[in-house]
A and B are shown apart, each in its own frame.
Chain A
């Protein structure tokens, strides 16, 4: 059975999501993990997954109150092709937000998208 909580009558988060903090953290993690890496068909998938988990862990550590997170990381090899990324959401414009961080090296481009949704 689902746990039932007593009403707190709080409509807002106690510690709101701060995009500047998250963007800096995400950019730092991308730099740390990907500076030395070269695009490699074998190791890149696991690298991609581990970067996304690390970013999720770091955002959870920042401990914003009442948020659910979705972190998406894209690693694309640079080969002169064109690429287009688009995203749309149906959410609460006043309480939810997103942050993106990019890292570019000689052989690949990495893009991280972090979305935080208020939940009570």
Chain B
């Protein structure tokens, strides 16, 4: 009796798999019919002119030196132009981005850090990594006898490395982490407890390591995650049981996700060498950004992987760091590369691992495996109208 139940289950599994595959094909076919154009096609039909960058329009105006290991992550404050960076040297450094001076250097209890974030108020920083925990440091705390800022809260509970963390906008006491244990977690920093775990039920969420999160600025209940399962997923923090939507298309790990400034779209960067733009309300893949050498179609073996992405404040520019040291500036509307910060004067000498825009959109910071951070700003002329 029991053995026939097992064979029945196997038959049900085969039938269900066939049904799922057939429905996915139908869904893809119907979706393709709705993709009457992409962003570049639409922009060309409207007669859009490309953004033209002169050789000195985007310049490296600061070099932040001090880390002695690869820089893995950086984050700006929402105000006052400070940056926190995390490095393989086992430190967080807080920089005054305008003066290049270091205001804090935090030696971490676990050197294997992968991510860092500033709290909205700028008083705390968070970091996480191979210790599977997220540590919070209050920058106003008195230092211990060794001159180190102590951990003010340790958020423990993940069963794998913490790959990314971000504070909820305007909430100094809540943050979201992503993890190698295939889940994302919303934490209450005051209690140190998990408020919600996203994707913990069997196959309710990502099916591989989650590498990146991005919270919407216009609706802080929505966030997207990117994973080694080649998908990005949209979540509502009120519904942890399953993702609101799953976005397919990439052919490799999704290393970086970032909301578009309007809050209704988001971008992704992947090991497959492409960036993509998706619409959260419809699920449409609106654009693929493939570097020129990849545009013949198909997957190019050994193509540089996208490590990190960011949008300019208008969304017109997409910045993407790649594993070969390139940092391409894309015209988002026309899907053209307009500048490569990896080949200009003062470019990084190794992979760009992280990047981010200042809150007012006037500066881009890039972090690299060459141990430096660099700040780029508009160097052209601006006339007051």
**A and B assemble together:** no
Contact surface of B with A, Cβ cutoff 8 Å: none
